[in-house]
Amino acid sequence: MTILKKDTSWSNVKKELSDPNFMKLLKDYDKDNISQNLIKRIQKYTSKMTTSKIATISIAAAVMWDWVLAMESYGMAF
């Protein structure tokens, strides 16, 4: 939820993930305007976790993690 600038509490995460428009939110994410400050904030997580580590717990979470990594990579290119 950090990259979406949303509350990261578990209760809020569950609410956001159950939103029927959650996938549309990811698809329509404004990747062209990712701030360097946000990149630094998510790097606290991306530097410590791998997709394969997450996949041992949840394939769905691993797929979303790949999206976060892609947004980080895209944001760092600019």
Residue identified by tokens 């993930």 is: 17
Q: Which pLDDT tens digits describe the chain residue by residue (78 residues)? A: 888 889 989 999 999 999 999 999 999 999 999 999 999 999 999 999 999 999 999 999 999 999 999 999 999 987
Judged on CB neighbours under 10 Å (0-12, 13-18, 19+), 22 is middle
40/44 Cα distance (integer angstroms): 7
78/20 Cα distance (integer angstroms):
31
CA distance 42 to 49: 11
